[in-house]
Structure 1
């Protein structure tokens, strides 16, 4: 019972932290070309991370400039083939990150970040908000403050997402 109450307080502190980040966020959209790319996705929704490598290749991001992180809600159900994945235990109170690798991902100033998830999960939203990426792209529609650019597709429509993303990045002269 006490553990459940503490978990609720922790979630409230992280929601408050998320709102403070999003409310103080300044948009910084420019015409810089995308040379580095970060990807955040929920492995519980989509397991094919090769899709993201193909996306990076299509927008001419070199493999050494691509970083992909996967989030899972349950560490027990995490697939064995994915090297590194993150879950709620990697987050402390007030948005504190308890995992060094995850913190180093968040500290990279990517030219673009793709947040490819549909589930409205606090930890995923924290990752997107805490990223130092210059241009944030996503499909989650519940909080438009998270991303600079939202492509309204369904999660299973990855090829449509990819096509639309490439089209708009060309229009914005980012590739």
Structure 2
């Protein structure tokens, strides 16, 4: 139990180090690919994100969703990539190759859709090489470029706000 606490502290230290370094400026490219990180313990309907991608004129084959669960469950096998705390080592080392591949992908936008204060989820958002990061309120504000103030159950509000702000920023391609 003590080692688990030390491991969490080492991961938090890495997050702070990652966030203290200035990252590249947000560019004016349109969004053509989206990555989504969600906590399946909080919400389990990933179909919402298919609708959001369609609304943003992003092809569904350019949408990648990964899920986190604090408790590994057998029902999570239906996800493309599902991970739990065992997929992380000391100092935030990623042990899962599929998870590392997700982090190395340069998505045009990353949506961090979780409210819980889970160290592993924060680390994934910080490690992602996405060009533009979108999150919801209640999370560390240093992690995201755009923060939508809503709760998890109000997905329609989230969808409308994301569309509104991405339109203002000229990040939605017109078809």
TM > 0.5 fold call: yes
Residue number among 125, 130, 134 corresponding to 2:131 in the alignment: 134
Maintained 8 Å contact 1:41/1:70: yes
| Pair 80,65 (structure 1): closer, same or farther in 2 beyond 3 Å | closer
**C-alpha offsets along residues 66-114 of structure 1, whole Å, 9 cap, x if unaligned?**
1110000100375454343111000001110000000000000111000
Q: Which moved more, 1:21-30 or 1:51-60?
A: 21-30
1:20 partnered with 2:17: yes
Which residue is 2:63 aligned to? Answer: 66
Structure 2 distance, partners of 1:9, 1:50, is 37
Q: How many corresponding residue pairs?
A: 172
**C-alpha offsets along residues 104-127 of structure 1, whole Å, 9 cap, x if unaligned?**
000001110000001010000001
Maintained 8 Å contact 1:117/1:140: no
Alignment of 1:36-51 (within 5 A): 36-51=33-48
Gaps of 5+ in 2: none
| Pair 72,165 (structure 1): closer, same or farther in 2 beyond 3 Å | same
Gaps of 5+ in 1: none
Structure 2 distance, partners of 1:112, 1:160, is 18
